[in-house]
Structure 1
Amino acid sequence: MGSWNSVPLEVIYQIFGWFAFGVWSISFYPQLILNYRRKSVVGLNFDFLVFNLTKHSAYLIYNASVFFSPVVQRQYHEKYGYNEMIPVAANDVAFSIHAVLLTAFTIFQVFIYERGTQKVSRVCIGITMTAWGYAAVSLILAWPNGSWLWLVTCFNLIQVIMTTIKYIPQAYMNFMRKSTEGWSIGNILLDLSGGLANFAQMGMQSIDQDSLENFYGNIGKLLLSLETVIFDVLFIVQHYVLYPKTKVEDGTAGENVERHLNKPLKESDHEV
């Protein structure tokens, strides 16, 4: 099994990893606090929450399996080489557990706070059911042959797809409302920091091993970092450049925003 060649690089790897865990974990709280203070989830897209729960649940299954299962680890080394290190760190598992719990709690807030006329769309329900249906079929196919690495890779694929699409409903909602009111920018700034640290962590391992196999072997983590950075930059532009809060501070604009906040979205026919 692979081991570190440089102690300093290993230390830096751990620092980046736990920094990413810290800021990503904290990034859930600004939205929770904002919802609590407003006693409202109006402006927070429900499709985003459903996609996010699916994404983090699938990512938890992948991370926990690769980190804890000797069978999955053996199959990983058979595929990528016995000199390669396992691409999942303890901070990845810790983050996934925390993310599932905090996303579930945010969904709980949807049921107890004011939500206007916002609903979960049919498209979101269909995509989510398809994702878990794919997972169930993959389990059935993997079970007879014991293809557990292939199975957890399927869960990693689900999280990659969900990461790709989960921000789209919120970004579109901000665009239609011409406002980011109800959507916490603190979450985005912390999320961006975590994405950059996560990418840097993978880079440290790649430099130490003089190999890119940790990128290939955990393409989900790589794409997670890249997609996070891209969408977070988009939200930052929306919040600070396109729809700055100063534009809605006067009474008339505020009333317009409230009408947009409570305006039903297309494809939104199923209440949470």
Structure 2
Amino acid sequence: MPRIDDDDELATLRRRAYAPGADISADPSALERLIELEQRAADRDGGAADDRAAPDGEQTEPEAASVGAEAGGEDGESARPARRRMPRLRRSTVVMLAGAGLVVATLLTALVLVQRVQTDPLQVGATQVARLTEDPSFDIPSSLYRGITGNVKAYTAFEGFRVISYPSFRAGEGAARCMTVYQPDLLDTGDDAFSYDGQFLLPSCAAGPFPATFTILLAEDTPEREPTDLPADTSLQFVYDQGRDEIVVFRG
């Protein structure tokens, strides 16, 4: 006999799935439970159908067993049991299975995107606002990578900021990359030296599994904020995504 509790739960979950204002798509656990109960109901209905008379002379299993017993002997023992028909899934179950597949695919896609870099690890509400790609046309001031030979890259601008990446001084194939974030308008370069009229001009290098990152708070009087359209007290984080060779920008 079906459990009354299961039937009540199934009715409640169906309302969440099919009634106006349905919200089950945002609750994977409830969706999984609905699919489970729908399958149980389908199996139960299929079993009930098998207990009813078989169509057009086809014997059910009890009837076949009875005939075999009456025949007796070898013929009775070899009587084949009637074929059982597999229960058909309800249309609602098929719809929910398709929906579950879509939810799983969406979650997997989101997981892949999140794993590109370590995003918002402390769940402080940071939002990814840009991905900066390599910009070969930008003329990188040599004073920013003095002592580094080759493989220096610049990236597209973001709110007046430019990022350059370059190999660290540590030799070897697995050497980490470093980056510097700055405002070109605040940089004054000469033949032998340079000056920077901003507040932030420090290199950041990767370390083991941790990518190079640069975090800045643009206060009211921060020189780097003036060329931007960002309000005071905006926080930015630049993260080097080595796998895609891009700079990911987060805003807090």
* TM-score of the aligned structures, taking structure 1 as reference length: 0.22
Structure number with larger C-alpha Rg: 2
Q: Bigger relative contact order, structure 1 or 2, given CA contacts below 8 A and separation 6+?
A: 1
Q: Which has the higher strand share?
A: 2
* TM-score of the aligned structures, taking structure 2 as reference length: 0.24
Q: Which has the higher helix share?
A: 1
